[in-house]
Amino acid sequence: MDYNKLETVMRTLALAAGEKIMQIYQADDFAVKTKSDQSPVTEADEAADAIISTGLRAAFPDTLLITEEQAATHGKSAETFLIVDPLDGTKEFIHRRGDFTVNIALVENGVPTRGIVYAPAKARMFFTRANGEAVEEFAPFAPDVLGRLSPVSVSNPDNSALMVVASKSHRDQATDDYIGKYNVQDMKSAGSSLKFCLIATGEADLYPRMGRTMEWDTAAGHAVLLGAGGKVLRFDDHTPLIYGKPGYANPFFIACAPGVELKKMS
């Protein structure tokens, strides 16, 4: 894989998809449909998927592409593949809460090694450079010119006063019970893959997810977090979360800074 080319292509496509998403988001109304799994999909999901898929297939025609919105791709597998969630946080989008993201990632041998997370409504962008380093780019964003970049790195957490981030739309009692095992200084809520990015920047230390997710939901944020020195582990045995699983469904997981003293459910 040409990582320099990948960095440029992912960023350009994420910006283009984000621009289209914001056009629809700012309209008076937009269409919402229900998929076979009862999850919502909007015209923004589909438009962003078309932009990203077309661009990635043109740039990397020999690399398998998996996208949330193209069910025909879901049964395929390869050691190296691109995986896309064109609009993560559809519920946040529908309710106009702003916490939605464009996600593109490269997976190699089960590990998301490169990725980009772009939150157009919040004007925040995080991605891995060609060398794997994670950075945040600051607005304004120009398609052909990199803006101001800042390397991001995870916190050195204080286990007596942890910063925890959890889902806005998928909090449940089991998650709250698990968080209760830690000494928590403050809790943040965030939608979509932004939770990984908050750990990558040191704005949070721990993100437990006890709920259904798919690999396209997590791969880009996971890549950014790895590039910032963080980790994403299976909830059950604390081994690294891997990708390319049959059906692309994830188990429960924990994303964190390495210094967090992890607990297990009793």
Copy the structure tokens of residue 20: 């289209």
Copy the structure tokens of residue 248: 């692309």
Q: Which of 29-33, 103-107, 176-180 has the highest mean pLDDT?
A: 103-107
Angle (CA) 145-52-31 rounded to 5° is 115
pLDDT at residue number 70? 85
pTM: 0.94
72-89, pLDDT tens digit by residue?
778 788 999 999 999 998
Q: What is the mean pLDDT of residues 160-183?
A: 87
84-103, pLDDT tens digit by residue?
999 998 777 777 888 899 99
Structural domains in the chain?
3-151 (3.30.540.10), 162-256 (3.40.190.80)
102-156, pLDDT tens digit by residue?
999 999 999 999 999 999 999 999 999 999 999 999 999 999 999 999 999 999 9
* DSSP per position, 28-85: S---EEE-TTS-EEEHHHHHHHHHHHHHHHHH-TTSEEEETT-GGGTT---SEEEEEE
